[in-house]
Each structure stands twice: as structure tokens, then as C-alpha cells.
């Protein structure tokens, strides 16, 4: 059984790392590019758009360039991210709101498009957040998102499991693409299209990988290093296992599975 998600810890972690995030979030930058391409393929011309988990505003900056006349709102759980995004997006038609993806502070049918990148993997379940995205969409609106899937950081998680000897798995677990698709259908989206791609990021060594995860606020993907000798032993053995099983001449790989989804809310003329 994987560790439960501590939402307060996630909020605080991303709040602290807001200023460093973009420098270290390499894969997340590639994800933004792909989500933009998926959205443009839908041939949308939004007058209003919501970015859930907007982070530092990287996606919103690109979107406001593509659709300069729209009114955009960015929502993020971490106050530090909201502050960073507000600075980065100064002068654009964007409003930042400190908000939870599972309880959005917007009226029903408020937005033509809802987007999200690298956010939903921090939730225990998807249904409530997807239902909220659907609620705030106007009829016929488009929901386009990306989250990290079940193969994400499998090297790290397998290395921990190899040394825990049957103990509790304290690493973060991620959703499978099939779970994402099923959740979209359960909450009433029509014609959801879900796909996944693997992205591999190289790091000089395992400690550098762990530092990188911490720099993007994702330290909760792995258990915190305790001060006790047993915790230190687990960490050292995990790193040795990682190097032995996955190490290459150019360092150690960290794999991310990115699950992409595009779905629409039924229009008023479409029957349920």
C-alpha cells in the first residue's frame, strides 16, 4: 500500500519551492508544449479559460500569447505559486486565485476551456477534481490536461521497495491511464481521449535526482530522510540499489509517464 497524500505537505512544499520551480521542472516544460498542441488541435477560440494548478504561470503565459483577448484565471493550491505567477504574468489579462482543484470557487458554466498540467497526480482520487472541472465548463467546453502516470519514477520506487524488505511502501503512487479515462467517463465527460508518453530525465547521481525533486516541490514522491540510523541506512541502500539496477555511464535515469487527456462537456443540444 503506497503512502497517503498529505495535502498540507504538498501545499507547503510547492509554496516553498515556487522561486526555483521553473529552473528545475524540465519535463514539466515539455508537458506544457504538448498540452498547447493538443488544445490547438481542438480549434478552440476561448473567451474565458481556467488553468488548474497554474504553478508559476508557464502555461498561462503561452496561452495568453495565443489568445490575447481572452479572460484567463489561474488557480493553485500553493500561495507561493500564485504570487510567482502574478509576478510573471503582470500586464496580462490573468487573475490568480489560491484554490483547491477539488473545490473550485467559481460558478457553474464559467469557462470555455479548462486546462491543467502536472497537478492531478497529487490527489488521492480523480473523480471530485474532474467533476469540478466539468462543473465550471460551459456546455460544449473543452477540458485538456496532463498528469504523471503510474510508470513515473518507477526506478526510485522499485529501489525503495528492494530495500524495505516487505515494509510499508512510503513512496507516492500515480494513476494509470485507464484510471484517468474511467474517471472522465464516470463524471460525465463525453468522448474522452487519453494517451501516455514516457519522458526520461538524466541526473548525475541519485542524490542529485532527490535534490531536483525537492526543488520542484515534489519531495513527497519519496519518503523524507529521517534522522535515525535506520532511516539513513534505508536511504544509502536505496541509492546503492538505484545505481546498481539503473545506472548508466552518463548518470541515472528518472522516467516520467505523462498521461494526456482531452474531453468535452456535452452541449445544451446534446442529450444525456
> Structurally, how many domains does the chain consist of?
1
pLDDT at 268: 80
pLDDT at 25: 54
pLDDT at 11: 45
Mean pLDDT, rounded, for 67-72: 95
Tell me whether residue 15 is in a domain.
yes
| E strand residue ranges, 134-180 | 137-148
pLDDT at 30: 85
Would you place residue 211 in the very low, low, confident or very high pLDDT band (cuts 50, 70, 90)? confident
Tell me whether residue 93 is in a domain.
yes
Model confidence at 23: pLDDT above 70: no
Tell me whether residue 136 is in a domain.
yes
pLDDT at 166: 64
Q: Using one digit for the tens of pLDDT, what is the confidence trace for 115-168?
A: 999 899 989 999 999 999 999 999 999 999 999 999 999 999 999 888 887 665
Compute the residue count for the chain: 272
Q: Using one digit for the tens of pLDDT, what is the confidence trace for 220-246?
A: 444 444 445 678 888 999 999 999 999
Q: Residues 6 or more apart from 155 whose CB is under 8 A from it?
A: 242, 245, 246, 252, 253, 254, 255
Mean pLDDT, rounded, for 22-34: 72
Tell me whether residue 84 is in a domain.
yes
Helix, strand, coil % over all residues of the chain, rounded to 5: 40, 25, 35
Would you place residue 169 in the very low, low, confident or very high pLDDT band (cuts 50, 70, 90)? low
Q: Do residues 261 and 182 touch, judged by C-beta distance below 8 A?
A: no
Model confidence at 83: pLDDT above 50: yes
Tell me whether residue 133 is in a domain.
yes
Helix (H) or strand (E) holding 91: none
Assign residue 179 the CATH number of its domain: 3.40.50.150
Three-class secondary structure of residue 236 per DSSP: helix
pLDDT at 2: 40
Query: What CA–CA distance (Å, rounded) separates 69 from 39?
Result: 17
Q: Using one digit for the tens of pLDDT, what is the confidence trace for 180-204?
A: 999 999 999 999 999 999 999 999 9
Phi/psi at 144 (nearest 5 deg)?
-130, 125
Tell me whether residue 242 is in a domain.
no
Domain that holds residue 16: 7-150+174-198+255-264
What percentage of the chain has pLDDT greater than the value 70?
Answer: 82
Q: Do residues 60 and 74 touch, judged by C-beta distance below 8 A?
A: yes
pLDDT at 13: 47
Query: What CA–CA distance (Å, rounded) separates 36 from 66?
Result: 9
Mean pLDDT, rounded, for 255-269: 93
Would you place residue 15 in the very low, low, confident or very high pLDDT band (cuts 50, 70, 90)? very low
Q: Do residues 216 and 210 touch, judged by C-beta distance below 8 A?
A: no
Q: What is the pTM of this model?
A: 0.84
Tell me whether residue 245 is in a domain.
no
Tell me whether residue 14 is in a domain.
yes
Amino acid at each position: 500500500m503506497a503512502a497517503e497524500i498529505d495535502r498540507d505537505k504538498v501545499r507547503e512544499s510547492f509554496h516553498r519551492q515556487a522561486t526555483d520551480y521553473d529552473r528545475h521542472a524540465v519535463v514539466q516544460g515539455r508537458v506544457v508544449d504538448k498540452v498547447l498542441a493538443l488544445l490547438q488541435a481542438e480549434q478552440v477560440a476561448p473567451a474565458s479559460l481556467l488553468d488548474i494548478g497554474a504553478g508559476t504561470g508557464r502555461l498561462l503565459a503561452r496561452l495568453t500569447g495565443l489568445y490575447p483577448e481572452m479572460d484567463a484565471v489561474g488557480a493553485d493550491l500553493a500561495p507561493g505559486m500564485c504570487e510567482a505567477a502574478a509576478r510573471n504574468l503582470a500586464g496580462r489579462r490573468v487573475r490568480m486565485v489560491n484554490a483547491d482543484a477539488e473545490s473550485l470557487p467559481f460558478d457553474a458554466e464559467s469557462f470555455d476551456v479548462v486546462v491543467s498540467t502536472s497537478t492531478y497526480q497529487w490527489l488521492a482520487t480523480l473523480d471530485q477534481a474532474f467533476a469540478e472541472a466539468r462543473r465550471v465548463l460551459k456546455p460544449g467546453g473543452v477540458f485538456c490536461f496532463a498528469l504523471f502516470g503510474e510508470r513515473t519514477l518507477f526506478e526510485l520506487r522499485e529501489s525503495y521497495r528492494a530495500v524495505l524488505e516487505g515494509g510499508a511502501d512510503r513512496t507516492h503512487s500515480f494513476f494509470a491511464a485507464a484510471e484517468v479515462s474511467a474517471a472522465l467517463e464516470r463524471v460525465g465527460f463525453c468522448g474522452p481521449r487519453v494517451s501516455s508518453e514516457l519522458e526520461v530525465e538524466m541526473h548525475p547521481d541519485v542524490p542529485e535526482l532527490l535534490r531536483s525533486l525537492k526543488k520542484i516541490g515534489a519531495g513527497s514522491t519519496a519518503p523524507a530522510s529521517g534522522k535515525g540510523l535506520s532511516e539513513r541506512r534505508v536511504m544509502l541502500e536505496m541509492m546503492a540499489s538505484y545505481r546498481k539496477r539503473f545506472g548508466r555511464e552518463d548518470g541515472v535515469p528518472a522516467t516520467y509517464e505523462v498521461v494526456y487527456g482531452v474531453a468535452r462537456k456535452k452541449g445544451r443540444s446534446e442529450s444525456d
